[in-house]
A and B are shown apart, each in its own frame.
Chain A
């Protein structure tokens, strides 16, 4: 069976550095960092290191929220608002209108780690410490569920094709985009609005802290320097939030509409490691890389840039660097991670970072890894982009995402050529 070609015709973001791709990219390029201390979080053990959290929050424009009719807004917690805002940008860039996606040939796939984290927490508070069901809104469930972002966006945009929500933590966004690509390649959908989203919440940040994968506030006092992918002084990750949404489209469909083609998605792979639940596994990552190049039928040496998953954890960055080094050999493509700028946006990360990477492709430059000053032991031997943006034509880029549960995902995007 001849696979159809799948292209990107729209991108939208809600990020800790701004709520348009231009703002986000300008922030990244300027070396800004969205991380700060989350003083508004009321966490047990106030004043102790365990209760001092850094995070990378989003500030969403109230005007956008108010622009949504109440019948849409009522079932949206923050994750769905972020995803809706990003999705609207994406369809606008693609030249699509709400009202023309109601055709069963347009799908919507948006993944996340948690669903509506704030609504889940609120539900527990009401049931356990409040007045119980007497006070439970009819919308609590709809704001909470793991597919809350995708069903809200599909309602908002009136999308009636395939609607689904991969839940694979930090690999969710790439799985969404990858599955969208497969649906289009196999002719099952013409357009898929897809990506990932996440809410920042103390319950989730705390989950990383408790296994010592979160950034150590005893070692890292400055929130702007605490997320340091691949660096020798890295001590853990910082959670962030946001959404990245794409319009993926079958090439001939896009051409027939006269849509601007931003890039082509040429390869996707996902695999489990089968052994570890919390530690990434270099052999499994390497396998995922083998699979994605096989899927694309492209030689790895064609790769111009790797946007790493690299979250600033000791073990994860080491495993990814090891896998890249072993897979690509002595001369690796240039590598950078954006988590020094925005922390780890979990279910949104694959999509947000892919959007930035595609912007790098347009600008022919690579954003360096913020706060990477000296690669840590085991993270050397790959071509780190450090300190300054690097000018380079980017025809083929690899995006990595690795998740708790031992799930790996990789996506290859190519500059579009007719």
Chain B
């Protein structure tokens, strides 16, 4: 899975679930300070990401430490590597996710 594909899928969740304008989604943007979101939005962002990626994030302590979009992309890249190590075909998975969005 390419990082660009991962970023596109994550950004789509911000746009669709939280109506954040795509042009605001810069890697260095802070989720609270720059995107105008709050802790309640983070719960709904998490639900959106869970649905899109078919994973469970609710009990993840790491997810709660995320500040910037880049932190989030890094976190998902790490998750992807863990899934890959467990034998999940993450390349097909991201294609499926992107196809669902079409």
Partner of B18, one of A70, A133, A134, A135: A70
Given B19, B42, B50, which contacts A134 in the complex, CB threshold below 8 Å?
B50
Number of interface residues of A (CB under 8 A): 10
Q: Is the CB of A137 within 8 A of B58?
A: no
**Assuming A70-B18, A70-B19, is B50 touching A137 (CB within 8 A)?**
no
Closest Cβ–Cβ distance, residue B76 to chain A (whole Å)? 18
A-side contacts of B36, CB under 8 Å: 71
Question: What is the size category of the interface that chain B forms with chain A?
Answer: 10 to 19
Indicate if A2 sits at the interface (CB-CB under 8 A). no
The answer to whether B56 touches A138, judged by C-beta atoms less than 8 angstroms apart, is: no
Contact B47 A139 (CB under 8 A): no
Q: When the two chains form the complex, which single residue of A70, A71, A134 contacts B47, counting CB atoms closer than 8 Å? A: A134
Q: Is B74 an interface residue (CB 8 A)?
A: no
- What is the distance, in angstroms, from A71's C-beta to the closest C-beta of chain B? 8
| A74→B36 CA distance, assembly (Å) | 14
Kindly provide the distance from the CB of B17 to the nearest chain A CB, expressed in whole angstroms.
10
Do A133 and B19 touch across chains, with their CB atoms under 8 A apart?
no
> 7 new A-B pairs (CB below 8 Å) besides A134-B47, A138-B44, A139-B44?
A74-B41, A74-B44, A134-B50, A134-B58, A136-B47, A137-B44, A137-B47
User: Could you list some 13 contacts between A and B, CB below 8 A?
Assistant: A71-B36, A74-B44, A134-B47, A134-B56, A134-B58, A135-B47, A136-B47, A137-B43, A137-B44, A137-B47, A138-B39, A138-B41, A139-B40
B residues apposed to A, CB below 8 Å: 18-19, 36, 39-44, 47, 50, 56, 58
Closest 10 CB pairs of A and B: A138-B43, A138-B40, A70-B19, A137-B44, A134-B58, A138-B44, A135-B47, A134-B56, A137-B47, A134-B50
